[in-house]
Amino acid sequence: MSTDVKINRGLKGIYFERSGVSHIDGAKGELSYRGYSIHDLATRSTFEEVCYLLIFGDLPSAIELADFDARLKTARSLPPAIYDIIESTKAGHPMDVLRTAVSALAALEPQSQNVGEDAFIENGIRLTAQVPMIIAAHEHIRNGRAPVPADPSLSHAANWLYMLKGELPSDDAARLADVDFILHAEHGANASAFAARVTVGTEANLHGAMVTALATLAGPAHGGAAEDVMKMVQEIGTPDKAAAYVKAKRAAREAVTGFGHRVYRAEDPRARHMREGVRKLGEEMGAPVWYEILQGVVEAMKPYSRHGLNVNVDFYSGVIYQLHGIPMDLYVPIFAIGRMPGWVIQCIEQQRGNILIRPLTLYNGPELRDYVDMSDR
């Protein structure tokens, strides 16, 4: 057993592949998709345009966008058996229900077994349209209501809110959801995209990779952070208690949720758009206290920021969802709605010139020893 092997636990700082999709400059706190700054995309683009950009590599022309939008809208349907599966699992966490339903779609829709780039694009577009339908249907079914059918006249974000709430969202609410999806759409070799790539590396189909990605996103160190931030804000209760909360967490050497990132050593560039969203929405709704609590935590964390420890994308998103009256356990599924195109393109990149992803673990168990029969143990 070699002892001089360098082990990179958590694959920190390791390049395992090349990717032409998103670029993250962790030191400067910059992010771009296909060469376009996240700030331009968040202020000037729509989620549909960003999906097209991520999957096909360039911003769409008006005709290309209309065609892509029509494909997404045509895909807004679920086999009836999915509603039965949601009914029988309705008491579970929405992320478990979503993952189970996506897994069932693989068994129910024969085209999900197809592999190759065209199949991944086709199945990726279908799943991108179906994922919000599953989440919204579950929310209605668990509350004893019938699911709200999709409205083909609405954008992806507006239709999501319409299916969830059963009423047309305001333009501002739809745009905020649209921006949220754009900001969450893609982020390189994050844990869930990496997990999806591992699945595709075995030549498995896209639905299998999406199940892997959903399972991986659910954890509190990744997509689960927004839900935990909202719980933290509720626990803190009033802005004057934020400093004491942070002090106690740091004294116990516990992580403050919504802070920290494997790659960023400056503020996550996505956070600024969500921060502005919380501030504006809180003021408009006469509930500025949530924003004030969050800013109290940011202030109290400053002495601990020597490693560039800063807020990440999910520090502000939970409060936006709360102000929209969305249940806390839907926060991770909302992240998944936005991340669909990122996962799809990561899987497409993986299967171009595919290679099995199979690193090594350095053995540190017992030396070879003699087998002892049961009667002698």
Ligand X SMILES: CC(=O)SCCNC(=O)CCNC(=O)[C@H](O)C(C)(C)COP(=O)(O)OP(=O)(O)OC[C@H]1O[C@@H](n2cnc3c(N)ncnc32)[C@H](O)[C@@H]1OP(=O)(O)O
Catalytic residues: 261, 314
**212 binds ligand OAA, rule: CB under 6 A:** no
Cα–Cα distance, 281 to 172 (Å, whole number): 9
Complete edge-to-edge strand list for the sheet that includes strand 30-33: 22-25, 30-33, 36-37
Region near ligand X per CB under 6 A, out of 99-107, 236-244, 275-283, 311-319: 311-319
190 binding ligand OAA? (CB under 6 A) = yes
Q: Closest approach of Cβ 310 to ligand X, in Å? A: 10
Contacts 24+ apart (CB under 8 A), 152-155: 152/73, 152/76, 155/46, 155/47, 155/48
Instruction: From the list ligand X, ligand OAA, none, pick the one residue 225 interacts with, judged by a Cβ distance below 5 to 8 Å according to partner type.
Output: ligand X
What number of H helices and E strands is found in the chain?
Answer: 16, 3
The stretch among 21-29, 93-101, 121-129, 260-268 that binds ligand X (CB under 6 A) is 260-268
Contact between 186 and ligand X by CB under 6 A: the answer reads no
Using a 10 angstrom Cβ sphere, with 0-12 exposed, 13-18 middle and 19 or more buried, the burial of residue 307 is: exposed
Beta carbons of 362 and 7 less than 8 angstroms apart:
yes
- Number of neighbours of residue 336 by Cβ within 10 angstroms: 26
Alpha carbons 230 and 223: distance in angstroms, whole number = 13
Residue 258 binds to ligand X (criterion: CB under 6 A): yes
- CA-nearest of 18, 17, 20 to 53 is 20
For residue 349, what are the contacts with CB-CB under 8 A and spacing of at least 6?
A: 17, 19, 20, 21, 197
Asked if residue 357 lies in contact with residue 198, where contact means CB atoms within 8 angstroms, the answer is: yes
d(CA 324, CA 201): 39
Interface residue with ligand OAA, options 156, 187, 207, 279 (CB under 6 A): 187
Question: In the complex, what is the shortest distance from the CB of residue 277 to ligand OAA, in angstroms, rounded to a whole number?
Answer: 17
Report the residue from 46, 89, 257, 346 that binds ligand X according to the rule CB under 6 A.
257
Which of 309, 327, 328, 329 contacts ligand X by CB under 6 A? 309
Q: Judged by CB, which is closer to ligand OAA: 138, or 187?
A: 187
- Separation of alpha carbons 127 and 130, rounded Å: 5
- DSSP per-residue letters across 156-190: HHHHHHHHHHSSPPPHHHHHHHHHHHHHHS--TT-
Subset of residues 52 to 71 that bind ligand X, contact rule: CB under 6 A: none
User: Which of 262, 265, 280, 324 touches ligand OAA (CB under 6 A)?
Assistant: 262
Q: Which does 94 bind (CB under 5 to 8 A by kind): ligand X, ligand OAA, none?
A: none
Please tell me the distance from the alpha carbon of residue 222 to that of residue 191, in angstroms, as a whole number.
7
> How far, in Å, CA of 225 to CA of 190, rounded?
14
Compute the least distance from the CB of residue 350 to ligand OAA, in Å. 16
From the list ligand X, ligand OAA, none, pick the one residue 309 interacts with, judged by a Cβ distance below 5 to 8 Å according to partner type. Answer: ligand X
Q: Is 314 in the site for ligand X (CB under 6 A)?
A: yes
Partner from ligand X, ligand OAA, none contacting 239, C-beta within 5 to 8 A by type? none
Per CB under 6 A, the list member of 259, 316, 331, 343 interacting with ligand X is 259
Of residues 189 and 344, the one with the C-beta less far from ligand X: 189
Question: Does 76 contact ligand OAA by CB under 6 A?
Answer: no
**Residue 255 binding target from ligand X, ligand OAA, none, CB below 5 to 8 Å by type:** ligand X
Closer residue to ligand X (CB): 209 or 313: 313
Closest approach of ligand X to the CB of residue 262, in Å: 4
Q: How far is CA 281 from CA 92, 146, 150, 324, 350, in A?
A: 30, 30, 26, 9, 39
| Interacting residues toward ligand X by CB under 6 A | 221-222, 225, 255-262, 307, 309, 312-314
| Interacting residues toward ligand OAA by CB under 6 A | 187, 190, 261-263, 312-313
